[in-house]
Structure 1
Amino acid sequence: MDAADRVRKVISDNKLSLKDFSEKIGVQYRTVQRYIAKERALSSDFLQAMTDHMDVSASWILSGKGDKYLGEGPNGRTSNSDFVSIQRFDIAASAGHGALSESEIGTGHYAFNRTWLARRGLNPDDLAVIAVRGDSMEPELYDQDLILLDRSQTSPRDGDMYVVRYSGDLFVKRIQVVPGNKVELRSTNRFYGPIMVTLPQGETSNALDLTFIGKVVASMHEW
């Protein structure tokens, strides 16, 4: 059973027609048809709509792991106290040549299991969910993937993945620390070359045109 099959299962569990389901979550009928027919990958907006309107875990849809429903549903009740709400922001970190940030306004929330976060040493107050745009981090991250960002971790560590603002654009890149007070912003996709940035003397994280927004601690494929 894949993600599209699990969406179909939710529709069946709730005894909805495809038309009723599309109206309930506010997604166009033809778009839902394409998802169900596996003609296109599920978008982050579609997953958000299912979370908001059906109380379905985006993690379960994508992976089949964990609880299906966040609240009351055919699968039984999951205590709300077991979950914490993390805000999604209306910005996109480019995994390509760079995308100007959109307005940094919260556009919804995702529910995360408190135990899952605690095991990873993550403080919910420091976290945010944003989308990825572009293909330079494939196959680690794909266009429209959601990532979980820890905004308290802004000092670059060699080999880790960060969201950075560089020359006014947001990027998601792996960091390579280079001798001489430099960092290299690296893509996973070999068709994109690295970006070398020199940090001001005495600085360990930010240059005049480079700011570390936070460390990527998980993607939608993991939660």
Structure 2
Amino acid sequence: MSIFLQRLRSEIERIGVSELARKAGVARNSLYNWCEKGNIPLDKLFLLAEHGVDVDYILHKKNNASENTPMDEFGLIPVREDIEVSAGAGAFVGLEDNSGYCLAFRKDWLNSRGLKEKDLYVVFTRGDSMEPTISDQDSLLVNTAEKMPQDGHIYVIRSNDTLWVKRIQKLLDGSLLLISDNKIYPPMQLNLNESSDVEVIGKVVSSSKNFY
């Protein structure tokens, strides 16, 4: 277990999960999730600081000369609050770079999967077309370095000003079949050769559930 995660857990346990959830106005499940994975948004970490969590201890304080700063173990991945990807009928997108905050991911986890921080960002979903795999308001880690579709994998795709998150199947004519895991939604076909405004944004490499 990382030093960051150990200290985050100890601080939350020191105050008490129920007490901290009540004071900060967050769900207990969110606290449990942050303690389990260590992927806590920085704005939420500072919110907890307002209610007694010692952020300086979690992020900076060293117990001995050989201890690394905990945040050195993490890569900060920007969250694109200006973007929602559709797990439904399609979501309008503003493509300007407008990151709201960052999520921390362990660097050893990223490295083990060949992921580079500069290629990644986090977006949120809207809709139920990818249930049960991806739910409404789940967060997705998207790797923009992987733009060559592989059958059966999940990608974020842009068509004009609309973004979808779908499972992809490549057809013989070069077009893409966008498949929803929720079978009440029919597949959609996009032809990359006939339209210059269709783009594979990146591959979904991880998703996180929200409980509030």
TM-score w.r.t. length of structure 1: 0.68
Match of 1:99 in 2: 91
**Residues 1:149 and 1:79: Cα distance change in structure 2 (over 3 Å):** same
Distance 1:220 1:71, change over 3 A: farther
Distance 1:148 1:92 in 2: 13
Whole-Å separation in 1 of the counterparts to 2:46 and 2:138: 18
Q: How much has 1:111 moved relative to structure 2?
A: 0.6
C-alpha distance in structure 2 between counterparts of 1:170 and 1:99, whole Å: 5
Partner of 1:72: 57
8 A contact 2:24–2:47 mirrored in 1: no
1:172 is matched with 165
Shift of 1:220: 1.6
Root mean square deviation of aligned Cα? 3.2
CA distances 1:186-219 after superposition (whole Å, capped 9, x unpaired):
1100011111112217xxxxx4231111111111
Partner-residue secondary structure (3-state), 2:100: strand
The 3-state SS of whatever aligns with 1:72 is helix
Paired position in structure 2 for 1:136: 129
Q: Aligned pair in 2 of structure 1 residues 52, 89: CA closer, same or farther (>3 Å)?
A: farther
Following superposition, which runs of at least 4 residues in structure 1 exceed 4 angstroms of deviation? Answer: 9-12, 15-19
Partner of 2:44: 50
CA contact (8 A) 1:11 1:18 kept: no
Q: Would the alpha carbon gap of residues 13 and 162 (structure 1) be closer, same or farther in structure 2, given more than 3 Å must change?
A: same
What count of residue pairs does the alignment treat as equivalent? 178
Distance in 1 (alpha carbons) for counterparts of 2:127 and 2:101: 22
Q: CA 1:70–1:198 in 2, change beyond 3 Å: closer, same or farther?
A: farther
Pairs within 5 Å for 1:181-200: 181-200=174-193
Answer yes or no: is the 8 Å Cα contact 1:70–1:111 preserved in 2: no
Deviation for aligned residue 1:14: 3.1
> Given the alignment of the two structures, is residue 88 of structure 1 paired with residue 79 of structure 2, yes or no?
yes
Q: How far apart, CA to CA, are the structure 1 residues paired with 2:127 and 2:89?
A: 8
Which residue does 1:220 correspond to in 2? Answer: 208
Q: Quick one: distance in 1 between partners of 2:150 and 2:105?
A: 26
Deviations 1:119-166 (A, max 9, x none): 101011111011111110011111110010111111111111110112
Provide the residue aligned with 2:24 in structure 1. Answer: 21
Q: Which structure 1 residue ranges, 5 or more long, are not aligned?
A: 1-8, 23-31, 56-68, 202-206
Between the aligned residues of both structures, percent identity stands at 33
> 1:101-140, aligned counterparts within 5 Å?
101-102=93-94, 104-140=97-133
